[in-house]
């Protein structure tokens, strides 16, 4: 049949698309039923908990407490930068120790190689 805009539309294509649409709707209804079960289970598990006011769940800075929050953020930033500096120092020391251990392992490997070479020459 022909659509109003002049495009020819085949019945087979229509049936195919209708079948796909019905399958998607069926899948959606199944997913919504599963979502409802999860929602009910969550409500059941949280029934004994004290409700938290929604205002506490939303992080925001109040006008009167903004100076205090800025001070808290600055102290957290200072603490984080000092912690980062300490970690960098420890990392530098670890790299130095690793380099020393590598040198010792190379020396031991060379010593063992020399000992084995001497033992081989002896035989």
Q: Is the dihedral of CA 82, 85, 91, 93 positive or negative?
A: negative
**How confident is the model over 96-118, as pLDDT tens digits?**
999 999 999 999 999 999 999 89
- Closest by CA position to 111, among listed 119, 122, 123: 119
pTM above 0.85, yes or no: no
**How confident is the model over 52-82, as pLDDT tens digits?**
777 777 777 665 554 455 677 788 888 888 9
Residue 51: DSSP 8-state: P
Which pLDDT belongs to residue 87?
93
């Amino acid at each position: 049949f022909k659509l109003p805009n002049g495009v020819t539309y085949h019945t087979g294509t229509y049936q195919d698309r209708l079948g796909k649409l019905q399958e998607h709707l069926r899948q959606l209804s199944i997913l919504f039923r599963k979502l409802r079960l999860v929602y009910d289970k969550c409500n059941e598990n949280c029934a004994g908990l004290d409700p938290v006011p929604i205002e506490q769940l939303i992080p925001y800075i109040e006008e009167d407490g903004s100076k205090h929050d800025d001070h808290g953020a600055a102290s957290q930033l200072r603490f984080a930068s000092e912690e980062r500096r300490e970690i960098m120092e420890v990392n530098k020391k670890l790299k130095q120790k690793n380099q020393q251990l590598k040198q010792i392992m190379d020396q031991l490997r060379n010593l063992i190689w020399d000992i084995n070479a001497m033992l081989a020459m002896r035989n």
